[in-house]
Amino acid sequence: MSVLAHPGWLRRRFRRYLLYLSAGAAFQILWAALVFAFIRHHPLAVSLWLEEGDSWTFSSVVVVYSMVSLTQAFYILLTVLMAFFLNSRVWFYTGLVFSIMPGLLPSLVQIPLALFLWLEIRRQEWDHFFSRFDDVRRMKGLTEQRRKRL
């Protein structure tokens, strides 16, 4: 194990990656809130004819889209918190998957960031760091040892 793969270095790097994901989610929250506020005060006069007699304005579609984007950003923050407190690769991957699908404007920032973090966290040096937390076989072994004690 090299010096750069020491758990202390990796823990700091992992927290920095979580900070990057949190910053992307904060950007997405800000973007969705601004779009929502702008469209609510200045509705666009474009109608979408979905079926005969049924029409939506473009502004209502954008409002729904911004609310979905806002909800998704909160999901990203939730997965970042779970990854931080559990030191879990699975929660980190879940946050990356949520951040890949945010929308048009945040995608320009979040998709390259998510792909970079995805490739970075798949390197060999991270396997030892996550081995204590995400190993299902180890968890199964712990429960079997607990049964033997009882």
Q: What is the pLDDT of residues 72-113, one digit of tens each?
A: 888 888 988 888 888 888 888 888 877 776 555 556 666 677
Q: 6-20, 92-106, 125-139: which has the minimum mean pLDDT?
A: 125-139
Tell me if 132 sits within 8 A of 138, measured CB to CB: yes
Give the number of domains in the chain: 1
Range of the domain at 120: 3-149
Q: Is the pLDDT reported for residue 140 higher than 70?
A: no
Q: In this predicted structure, what is the pLDDT of residue 1?
A: 47
For residue 74, what are the CA distances in angstroms to 22, 39, 57?
A: 10, 21, 27
Q: What is the pLDDT of residues 41-68, one digit of tens each?
A: 766 655 555 555 555 566 666 777 777 7
